[in-house]
Chain A
Amino acid sequence: MLIFQHSSKGRQNKAQIAITAPSNNLVPEHLRRKTPAFLPEVSELQAVRHYTRLSQKNFSIDSHFYPLGSCTMKYNPRACNILASLPGFTQLHPQAPLIMQQGFMACMFELQEILAEITGMPAISLAPMAGAQGEFAGIAMIKAYHDARNDTARCEILVPDAAHGTNPATAVMCGYKVREIPTNLEGDVDISALKAAISEKTAGIMLTNPSTLGVFERQIKDISDIIHKAGGLLYYDGANLNAILGKVRPGDMGFDVIHMNLHKTFSTPHGGGGPGAGPVGVSHRLRPYLPVPIVVKNKHSDNTFTYQWEDEQQHPQSIGQLSAYNGNAGILLRAYIYARMLGKEGMIRVAEYATLNANYMMQRLKNSGFEVTFPRRATHEFIISLRYLAKHYNVNAMDFAKRLLDKGFHAPTTYFPLLVPECFLIEPTETESKEAIDAFVEAMQEIAEEAKNDPNLVKNAPYTLPVQRLDDVKAARELNLIYTTTNID
């Protein structure tokens, strides 16, 4: 049932309506609303019960193992939420006088410092509100850099064919043409194809390392030299930072700009699709273009400090504000709290145990007969292909994924990257125990057996969830996007 179907005309949640003198209608007649909005009329208990029950229809990290590749579904520590929700933080108006913001700004300044050190980038801006906006900031800075040098013939961004879809979409939003670079059989960028694609039109390249194929790009230094020699810049998609924390830094690999997904590596909640946070770090040459605001720490003659926001006034070449205020401040706070609990030792261990878990799971699946696409070494994630089952038993990766849901596991990322047929991209993260991984491998083995013995059992999965397999084609052809009282039973 929908919340609207719990409604009764005239029911009001009186606890939320203050008893005050009714005000005369203060809006001029021609600007006034004539009919009330169609909103639920329910009691507080009805609302609480409805949304509690809805929540129970979700898989989540708190309830299920969730090995979604490239999404880094690690445990979201409760302390991060509780402390970031302290009234002093949540009640702070973004345009409060600076003296009222000093506690929050201290956290933001220190987060900038932590992110600079972990990425090897000299300067950080926390402004972008999600990974895709971090990408936008990165490519917009590359454009601003070339434009400032009157190097305006550069109109192309190179993107490997295995890249996340946001990469090419971002390049287009920044006014660039996209040129795809193929990947070789080992999962590395095809260097000869890269050399052939490079020209005086190349503005830069967008790379992820470890790549979306779950392998470390070993020729990164060569790629970096090739691009820089041609006058282009290197953008690092930090979606996969978890595996390299404290092990190797994008700044040392030769990248000019990086964005980080704090809702992955720094464990801020995914929230059913956001909010995220996508800070950017840059090399010295891109520093003037960083998005604002940026927090600075000013030392006074009496040895005290105050924090200050810097904007376009101090950074006239900045690509500017990307949100009305300070980005997703509350999410940045959660990342700061997580970073302080981890500390430098903890961050290195995150990379180590994320990698240990991925390699252990990869080896166990390989031993169970699954086809590992790039078996040389997993980073924090790896790919298996289910094409054998698809070919011989007509059970594809989506069927397999749905059956995993029945077994109590969220499915790995399916059909991404696009160039591996019938694939799963699997990322266990460091917060899962050996037992959880073993149980997942056993479920995978069971489903592989089911696929061979009773393919229809897998093809018709899931059976145990609130709904069975949904008709996506109907959803797109007969659009039903809002409730009208007659279009839902």
Chain B
Amino acid sequence: MPFIPHTPDDVQHMLNTIGVNDIDDLFDEIPASLRCQNIDAIPSGLSEREVDKILRQRATQDTYQLCFAGGGAYEHYIPSAVWEITTRGEFYSAYTPYQAEASQGTLQLIYEYQTMMSSLTGMEVSNASLYDGASGLAEAVLMAVRANRKIKSRKLLVAGSVNPRYQKVVNNIVKNQNICLETLSYDIKQGNIDINSLPAIQDQYVALIIQQPNYFGQLEEVDTLTDWAQQHNMLVIAVVNPIALSILKPPGEWGTKGADIACGEGQPLGIPLSSGGPYFGFMTCKQSYVRQMPGRIVGATVDKQGKTGYTLTLQAREQHIRRSKATSNICTNQGLMVTAATIYLSLLGAAGLTAIAEQSMQNTRTLVSMLAEKNITCQFQGHYFHEIVVKLPCSAATVINALAQQNIIAGIDLSKTYPELPNTLLICVTETKSHQEIRHFVEQLHAATLIKVG
């Protein structure tokens, strides 16, 4: 009877108080015809020790040596203190902070988080998180449609260099409200949006979605794009990597007026890769749009004696108050992940974050030069952050499979999503890789291409 504390005496006493003979009598409101006969397809219970054995065996099976895949989920070193503190029971097993006086720990932490994310993105306000980067972008799209009253069309323009998984998820979430995305093609030489292609665009759009660095790791001309979009009555939605923001111009400073909404994947900030989740989506915006924001927001206030305290605020936007007129149906968000990210940012500070971004960039350049020695070159010519697209003399699948045999994750095969980019591999190098590891990877990758050619 795992985790149920009742002794036989307790049960008898409780049944007597209720006035029934048997626990089964408590289910007398369920019509007999509906009663479940059995759930035999579920295995019998195991002790913790037995489950431990199964899980350890399976975790060991999934262990690998080196990871060079990114594409939206990035391997960064996570300081030990991050999860040691995050998994304290007082954070781990607390509910949503609706009873503010009994939740000051979580609430103050979220206020600190909102401050950090607003500063990183150069925006004025932040919410308390969304599910992940992709669904967070979908919420940003819905928010832009509500906020941009000048444009009546329900169309948005999305840079073709935005993470294709995000584009898919956004479409799946917003299409039922007759909102659609149209793609702005990327330049196949530079791997980003060609600003000379903008004047040809004539239609009216609610917003322009730009990712910086983009899915290919390349940098976009964000100032020009932002100014152009805003001159055409569009809002600008910035999709950004929070680590890169320590060295890249924050969305709030893009162009003359700054982006209107910034969002992105919070995973790089101390969240393990963990097969894709749980991560968290962050969202910040200009103050004037705060009432259109989805999800929870924490505000500072005072108690009866004038002491500072924190509470959930602007709840009239949310589903538990506004029901069908809420800004989103989101309720539970990713609170524990935000806890980890806030501790991560505190442990690193701006200097630590910058060091990680610069080391990652440097390592990626080391990779590029080592690959060049083997005559393996980059697909794109532009500026890049910590990810690059390389051209292979064979299919990416061949290389990925060969390196998997060496316990190395080589990267992401782009040819399935981009038919115009055959034999290309998206590779990411973060601060976690040493010179020797990059060298080893390049040797193995080169060897894999030779097998095919030979």
Contact = CB atoms under 8 A, between A and B. Distances in A.
A93 interface: yes
B245 to A, nearest CB: 7
Interface in A373-400: 376-377
Given A103-B57, A249-B36, A342 B92 contact: no
A460 interface: yes
Given A175-B178, A273-B296, A341-B45, A47 B81 contact: yes
B103 A103 contact: no
Interface stretch (B297-305, B371-379, B437-445): B297-305
A453 interface: no
A352 interface: yes
Contacts of A168: 319, 323-324
Interface string B287-315: 00010000011111111110111110111
Given A479-B299, A482-B114, A482-B126, A467 B101 contact: yes
Contact of B55 (A17, A30, A40, A86): A86
Nearest to B73: A94
Nearest to B67: A93
A350 to B, nearest CB: 8
A113 B41 CA distance: 8
Interface residues of A, number: 199
B247 A33 contact: yes
B96 interface: yes
B300 A480 contact: yes
Among A58, A81, A101, A472, find the residue whose CB has the most chain B CB atoms closer than 10 A. A58
B327 to A, nearest CB: 9
A320 B89 CA distance: 35
Given A32-B249, A272-B91, A349 B42 contact: no
B247 A329 contact: no
Nearest to A348: B39
A275 B278 CA distance: 7
A365 B82 CA distance: 43
Contacts of A301: none
Interface in B322-367: 322-326, 328-337, 339, 342-343, 345-355, 358-359, 361-362, 365
B90 A36 contact: no
Interface stretch (A190-198, A226-234, A279-287, A431-439): A431-439
A133 B281 CA distance: 14
Contacts of B342: 3, 51
A175 B324 CA distance: 11
A466 B108 CA distance: 12
B200 interface: no
Contact of A39 (B48, B90, B116, B176): B116
Nearest to B30: A248
B39 to A, nearest CB: 5
Contacts of B383: 27-28, 31
A342 B349 CA distance: 43
Contacts of B159: none
A271 B89 CA distance: 9
Contacts of B96: 270, 272-274
Interface in A459-489: 460, 462, 465-472, 474-476, 479-483, 487-489
A23 B361 contact: yes
Given A28-B219, A57-B105, A330-B277, A430 B118 contact: no
12 contacts: A39-B350, A41-B351, A61-B89, A73-B93, A94-B277, A130-B331, A263-B332, A271-B94, A274-B334, A321-B169, A339-B42, A340-B51
> 10 smallest A-B Cβ distances: which pairs?
A325-B276, A343-B45, A62-B89, A271-B336, A88-B59, A103-B58, A273-B335, A94-B276, A275-B278, A169-B329
